[in-house]
Chains A and B, each alone.
Chain A
Amino acid sequence: MLLIPCPYCGERDETEFSYGGEAHIERPKEPDKLSDAEWADYVFMRPNSKGVLLERWVHSHGCRRWFNVARDTLTYKIHAVYKMGEKRPRVPKTDYV
């Protein structure tokens, strides 16, 4: 079970949080101008990457705030947490194959 450092509350068990998938996917401003494929890419397609992923979590059973986490999907190491709207942190490059 992950130990997630909520930027508002501190370290809490994973069971207090809900997962929100990849971060920094902005809802298109004018969806009507997108092709089906572009819209489907926004709604459905995610990279499922191996390595550091910037992802969203919400502290559902705590402060109920959304925030971002830089987490290695192989080692589960959390490199950084940052609030919504804050700049992406520098994260180590991984060279997993």
Chain B
Amino acid sequence: MAQTFRLPEGGQIDRAQSLGFSFDGGRYRGYGGDSLASALLANGIHFVGRSFKYHRPRGIFAAGFEEPNALVQLGEDPRTDPNQLATLVELVEGLAARSQNRWPSLDYDIGALNNLASRAFPSGFYYKTFMWPATMWMKYEHFIRHAAGMGQSPRERDPDRYDKTQAHCDVLVVGAGPAGLAAALAAARSGARVVLAEQDHLLGGALLGEAEATIGGAPALDWARAAEAELRSLPEVRVLGRTTVYGYFDHNFLTLIEKVTDHLNRKPEHLPRHRLWKLRAKQVVLATGSIERPLVFRDNDRPGIMLAGACRTYVNRYAVKPGTTAVVFTNNDSAYGAALDMQAAGIEIAAIVDLRREVIGPMSEAAEAAGLPILADHAIVATEGGRRIKRVRAAPMDPSGGQVYVSGEPIDCDLLAVSGGWSPTLHLHSQAKGEIAWNEELGCFVPGEARQAAHSAGACNAAFGLASCLAEGATAGQKAAAAAGFKAKGRKKAAPKAADHGFLPARWLWLVPSDTPLGHGGKHFHELQNDVTAADLQLALREGYRSIEHVKRYTTTGMGTDQGKTSNVNAIGIVAEATGRAVPEVGVTTFRPPFTPVTFGVFAGRDVDELLDPVRRTPMHGWHQQAGALFEDVGQWRRAWYYPRAGEDMHAAVTREVREVRRSLGIMDASTLGKIDIQGSDASELLNRIYTNAWKKLEVGRCRYGLMLGEDGMVMDDGVTARLGENHYLMTTTTGNAAPVLAHLEEYIQTEWPEFDVYCTSVTEQFATISIAGPNARRLLAELTSDIELSPNDFPHMAVRDGTVAGVPARVFRVSFTGEAAYEINVPSSFGLAVWQATMTAGEKYGITPYGTEAMHVLRAEKGFIIVGQETDGSINPIDLGMDWIVSKKKDFVGKRSLTRSDMAKPDRKQLVGILTDDPAVVLPEGAHLVERVEPQPPMAMLGHVSSSYYSPNVGRSIALALVKGGLAKKGQKLTAPLLDGRKIGCTVVDPVFFDPEGDRLRG
């Protein structure tokens, strides 16, 4: 199909590059340099989507990032992206786009019935729906989600690669329009390191869309190209095209998304698709331009109704005629420039309908001189046309200003270009917490004081004339460079000459009257993306909402993916008018990142799969793998969980491992336990203050179990610490708490007891730890060492010895987490695997059994040993655990005073107990709730929950640990565990030690 609406010449496009693309299955052609929107318009396509709520036909409305309507789905699964702005998508060969929010097709859309039944979707529809009983929502959810088709996310895995990078600069310039280019030049000429970021692939900003602008007597774009060439030639300048600064955070930290390969036909392997820049700038120049606002009039949403500035851009930049016969509707001077450019491109201007009483202003007067038909003090009161506008009615305004009494004259057209004024793009300034002020004359919010090292310049600073943009940009660039430590070199260059007219004068009329009352026939949309009308705003006000933030949430205005870029000011103006308040009194809603939608991929970057999180493996990991172990994640560690033999399920394997440890001998990899080396003359004092029990009398060569509390008295960690020398300890921590415990020690040493002579060093990864446990543990160790005396007298339980094991220097702890005689052999990590293998070989005759974390859990539960984080949750103190035996009454320690707070003495605190089910075969699920009285259905008064639960082959039945309110006083009492599947399991509260309560096996 020919590009019927393409002008024969002009534009920033490459006619030699003919590109094929598809939209909703139709095949079309465009040119290099086209956006998807300009290529569609070149082919006469305006109607590209249906609206969110009413499914009304919608067309391309803008030419840039402010586009509210033309959201498309690009590509096919898995390379598909929803909600892409057709105005920002660069055309590439083979691009496949689909419209969204229509079913089954754009032309025949069932949801359009919503438009007829629009009273079903009043303002606050979602709020009211959510307030219905939940069952109603279940019924409606499917329908609403299906109808509210904001595109589809890919179902398959994203095959593309994304990247993140960090950068620093002296001056970041955001936006490469005239102000941004001038700023970047000024800063760069001072010698500052400059980053210039522009979301477009061409530099020039608004100049790209203007035909007549000149700078220094030459076409403005020539100046822009020269500026670009100079910037690119400077070594300290980085020009980032296709890069949107989407977030402005604290201390001049900004985030940028660079679209690296989307525009390339062949995407090189070595490049990521998108790149996230995390940029720290000493100074920022915001030159983000301005956004044209529409006018809010009746049925102002039909395809073919566009922003006037966008029409101008399509004509000048893309050489596309957005229509054949245009009506222009404006309240300011700038739309006349668009009218003149459109006329020059061969578009018939049927009328310029101007809300202003008089036609004044440089562009208006030029248009008048050119003989364009102008209707001053008129309003458009109605539009017609289904999938494309075909007629408007223009009527004279009542002298009072707010009314129209006649139905007006029909004017045929296929394009309606609208301008309701211009709003500075304040988003980044506001994200950086800069102040915002209302400018009555300009009818827009303007930046007030910046809260960070930022300077707004050009149209985003309400300098709408070209000369002002250039001057402000240069000044801001120079100031920024100077503030970053770079003084301007040589004589200051005079700003190049250019015209300097803005869009004034204007007439601010937030709601354009119609010949029928608001809401009676037709809709005055102020927010196109979320389908919010002026009547919706007024309904919200009638229903009592006053704050603009509440009105926003109730009506959903400005809450679409465009964040109301074209609609916010109009919404605030309408609310102000309706409530008789001044605009500044109504205030402005919050601007939030991202400025435009950002691909999820860049947030992940390369941190996916094995790079998502580091995996920590012990030196013996490979052995466990070969032995067929299954693994469980404990923090970042991967620990052997159990070692199933052929035909064994988890239950069978764990039962065997647990039995074998108590029958003969087990071996476990305990390398992941945290190990902290503590040295210094105050090491004993440190432990004394950190642990609940006393440490000063511990002999060298002995170990002690310790419990560590937070200052709130709650259990934080536990573990065995050995005294290796007079001033030397080795502390072990739970696997997950190694880092937090070290941080805890360092905090107290540095902030509370700086006088201490003590040093803590993490040695977790320096040692491999092999734990052997069971009745044959001592015999086995005897075969592996010749220089450690092992008799119970020489090497008793809770002692530590240095020596040689399997020919390797080793430190052996006689400690036990299983209740069996057990030794933890610590060797330098590099020897871990060798010693493990030697131990396995020597242990064969005892049937040595490798056991994993699951068997360890069962073994320790049989003994009633707690696991921090399983039996504790930050709200459990030592007394709750029945561990008052380890709490010193004499000395002070971290958390001690909290233990005597009145709250800690409450009898109904949750306390650790054992639980035995009436049926010994039933294993309660962990997390099961325990109740005293069973009700027919929830809610029931809950007494506590099961924290650990296993089948114990050694006890010959199921066992469980639980935290139960007042549990210590409930021993012997019957409780019930009502389960999700309806079963009600009877059980009894017992002591939490199920096996060898005297501990004879331990000492053997």
Chain A residues within CB distance 8 Å of chain B: 1-3, 13-14, 18, 20, 26-28, 30-32, 34, 36, 39-40, 42-44, 56, 58, 60, 64-66, 75-76, 84-85
Asked whether A18 and B896 contact (CB < 8 A) given A2-B250, A75-B433, the answer is no
B402-410, B730-738, B748-756, B847-855 - the one binding chain A: B748-756
- CB-contact partner of A3 in B253, B892, B902, under 8 A: B253
Query: Other CB < 8 Å A-B pairs besides A20-B747, A30-B892, A36-B902, 12 of them?
Result: A2-B250, A3-B251, A18-B743, A20-B751, A32-B892, A36-B901, A39-B898, A40-B901, A75-B433, A75-B451, A84-B750, A84-B751
Contact residues in B for A85 (Cβ distance below 8 Å) = 754
Contact residues in A for B765 (Cβ distance below 8 Å) = none
Q: How far is the CA of A23 from the CA of B134 in the complex (A)?
A: 47
Contact residues in A for B249 (Cβ distance below 8 Å) = 1
Asked whether A43 and B712 contact (CB < 8 A) given A31-B892, A84-B751, the answer is yes
The answer to whether A58 and B901 have CB atoms under 8 Å apart is no
Closest 9 CB pairs of A and B: A31-B897, A3-B251, A66-B750, A1-B253, A27-B752, A76-B250, A39-B897, A36-B901, A43-B711
Q: Say yes or no: is B857 at the interface (Cβ < 8 Å to chain A).
A: no
Q: How far is the CA of A58 from the CA of B743 in the complex (A)?
A: 9
Chain B residue with the shortest CB-CB distance to A44: B712
Measured between C-beta atoms, what is the minimum distance from A23 to chain B in Å? 9
Contact residues in B for A42 (Cβ distance below 8 Å) = 711
Chain B residue with the shortest CB-CB distance to A26: B752
Contact residues in B for A13 (Cβ distance below 8 Å) = 253, 280
- CB-contact partner of A58 in B712, B747, B896, B898, under 8 A: B747
The answer to whether A76 and B751 have CB atoms under 8 Å apart is no
Contact residues in A for B711 (Cβ distance below 8 Å) = 27, 42-43
Measured between C-beta atoms, what is the minimum distance from A34 to chain B in Å? 7
The answer to whether B896 and A31 have CB atoms under 8 Å apart is yes
Chain A residue with the shortest CB-CB distance to B712: A43
- CB-contact partner of B280 in A3, A32, A40, A58, under 8 A: A3
- CB-contact partner of A64 in B712, B746, B751, under 8 A: B746
Measured between C-beta atoms, what is the minimum distance from A93 to chain B in Å? 19
8 Å CB interface, B206-258 against A: 249-253
Q: How far is the CA of A13 from the CA of B433 in the complex (A)?
A: 19
Residue in A14, A27, A34 whose Cβ sees the most chain B Cβ within 10 Å:
A27
Measured between C-beta atoms, what is the minimum distance from B309 to chain A in Å? 36
Could you list 14 A-B pairs, sorted by A, with CB under 8 Å?
Answer: A1-B251, A2-B251, A3-B252, A3-B253, A3-B280, A27-B752, A30-B892, A39-B897, A39-B898, A43-B898, A56-B751, A66-B746, A66-B750, A84-B750
Contact residues in B for A58 (Cβ distance below 8 Å) = 743, 746-747, 750
Measured between C-beta atoms, what is the minimum distance from A38 to chain B in Å? 10
Measured between C-beta atoms, what is the minimum distance from A5 to chain B in Å? 10
Contact residues in A for B280 (Cβ distance below 8 Å) = 3, 13
Q: How far is the CA of A68 from the CA of B599 in the complex (A)?
A: 38
Measured between C-beta atoms, what is the minimum distance from A92 to chain B in Å? 15
Contact residues in A for B750 (Cβ distance below 8 Å) = 58, 65-66, 84
Asked whether A84 and B251 contact (CB < 8 A) given A20-B747, A31-B892, A39-B898, the answer is no
The answer to whether B897 and A34 have CB atoms under 8 Å apart is yes
Measured between C-beta atoms, what is the minimum distance from A39 to chain B in Å? 5
Contact residues in A for B251 (Cβ distance below 8 Å) = 1-3, 76
Contact residues in B for A30 (Cβ distance below 8 Å) = 892
Chain A residue with the shortest CB-CB distance to B894: A27
Q: How far is the CA of A58 from the CA of B740 in the complex (A)?
A: 13
Contact residues in A for B898 (Cβ distance below 8 Å) = 39, 43
Contact residues in A for B743 (Cβ distance below 8 Å) = 18, 58, 60
Chain B residues within CB distance 8 Å of chain A: 249-253, 280, 433, 451, 711-712, 743, 746-747, 750-752, 754, 892, 896-898, 901-902
Contact residues in A for B751 (Cβ distance below 8 Å) = 20, 56, 66, 84
The answer to whether A1 and B897 have CB atoms under 8 Å apart is no
Chain B residue with the shortest CB-CB distance to A30: B892
Q: How far is the CA of A84 from the CA of B712 in the complex (A)?
A: 23
Chain A residue with the shortest CB-CB distance to B760: A64
Chain B residue with the shortest CB-CB distance to A28: B897
Contact residues in A for B746 (Cβ distance below 8 Å) = 58, 64, 66
Contact residues in B for A1 (Cβ distance below 8 Å) = 249-251, 253
Chain A residue with the shortest CB-CB distance to B742: A64
Measured between C-beta atoms, what is the minimum distance from B613 to chain A in Å? 15
Chain B residue with the shortest CB-CB distance to A37: B901
Asked whether A39 and B253 contact (CB < 8 A) given A31-B892, A84-B750, the answer is no
Measured between C-beta atoms, what is the minimum distance from B371 to chain A in Å? 56
Q: How far is the CA of A31 from the CA of B280 in the complex (A)?
A: 45
Q: How far is the CA of A60 from the CA of B746 in the complex (A)?
A: 10
Q: How far is the CA of A31 from the CA of B898 in the complex (A)?
A: 9
Measured between C-beta atoms, what is the minimum distance from B978 to chain A in Å? 36
Measured between C-beta atoms, what is the minimum distance from B250 to chain A in Å? 5
The answer to whether A39 and B901 have CB atoms under 8 Å apart is yes
Measured between C-beta atoms, what is the minimum distance from A4 to chain B in Å? 9
Chain A residue with the shortest CB-CB distance to B252: A3
Q: How far is the CA of A1 from the CA of B432 in the complex (A)?
A: 11
Q: How far is the CA of A59 from the CA of B679 in the complex (A)?
A: 22
Measured between C-beta atoms, what is the minimum distance from A24 to chain B in Å? 10
Measured between C-beta atoms, what is the minimum distance from B483 to chain A in Å? 15
Q: How far is the CA of A39 from the CA of B713 in the complex (A)?
A: 12
Q: How far is the CA of A13 from the CA of B897 in the complex (A)?
A: 37
Chain B residue with the shortest CB-CB distance to A56: B751
Contact residues in A for B754 (Cβ distance below 8 Å) = 84-85
Contact residues in A for B902 (Cβ distance below 8 Å) = 36
Chain A residue with the shortest CB-CB distance to B755: A85
Measured between C-beta atoms, what is the minimum distance from A46 to chain B in Å? 13
Contact residues in B for A65 (Cβ distance below 8 Å) = 750
Measured between C-beta atoms, what is the minimum distance from B164 to chain A in Å? 13
Q: How far is the CA of A39 from the CA of B892 in the complex (A)?
A: 14
Q: How far is the CA of A39 from the CA of B746 in the complex (A)?
A: 23
Chain A residue with the shortest CB-CB distance to B903: A36
Chain B residue with the shortest CB-CB distance to A34: B897
Q: How far is the CA of A27 from the CA of B898 in the complex (A)?
A: 13
The answer to whether B747 and A66 have CB atoms under 8 Å apart is yes
Contact residues in A for B897 (Cβ distance below 8 Å) = 28, 31-32, 34, 39
Measured between C-beta atoms, what is the minimum distance from B742 to chain A in Å? 9
Contact residues in B for A40 (Cβ distance below 8 Å) = 901
Measured between C-beta atoms, what is the minimum distance from A77 to chain B in Å? 9
Contact residues in B for A18 (Cβ distance below 8 Å) = 743
Contact residues in A for B250 (Cβ distance below 8 Å) = 1-3, 14, 76
Chain B residue with the shortest CB-CB distance to A32: B897
Residue in B743, B752, B892, B897 whose Cβ sees the most chain A Cβ within 10 Å:
B897
Q: How far is the CA of A58 from the CA of B901 in the complex (A)?
A: 30
Contact residues in B for A28 (Cβ distance below 8 Å) = 897
Q: How far is the CA of A1 from the CA of B901 in the complex (A)?
A: 39
Contact residues in B for A2 (Cβ distance below 8 Å) = 250-251
Measured between C-beta atoms, what is the minimum distance from B716 to chain A in Å? 14
Chain B residue with the shortest CB-CB distance to A29: B892
Q: How far is the CA of A75 from the CA of B250 in the complex (A)?
A: 9
Q: How far is the CA of A14 from the CA of B747 in the complex (A)?
A: 18
Measured between C-beta atoms, what is the minimum distance from B607 to chain A in Å? 14
Measured between C-beta atoms, what is the minimum distance from A20 to chain B in Å? 7
Q: How far is the CA of A66 from the CA of B746 in the complex (A)?
A: 9
Q: How far is the CA of A2 from the CA of B452 in the complex (A)?
A: 12
Measured between C-beta atoms, what is the minimum distance from A16 to chain B in Å? 12
Q: How far is the CA of A75 from the CA of B253 in the complex (A)?
A: 14
Contact residues in B for A32 (Cβ distance below 8 Å) = 892, 896-897
Q: How far is the CA of A88 from the CA of B829 in the complex (A)?
A: 46
Q: How far is the CA of A27 from the CA of B689 in the complex (A)?
A: 12
Measured between C-beta atoms, what is the minimum distance from B278 to chain A in Å? 8
Q: How far is the CA of A26 from the CA of B746 in the complex (A)?
A: 16
Q: How far is the CA of A26 from the CA of B253 in the complex (A)?
A: 34
Measured between C-beta atoms, what is the minimum distance from B58 to chain A in Å? 38
Contact residues in A for B747 (Cβ distance below 8 Å) = 20, 58, 66
Chain A residue with the shortest CB-CB distance to B897: A31
Q: How far is the CA of A23 from the CA of B250 in the complex (A)?
A: 22
Q: How far is the CA of A13 from the CA of B251 in the complex (A)?
A: 10
Q: How far is the CA of A20 from the CA of B748 in the complex (A)?
A: 12
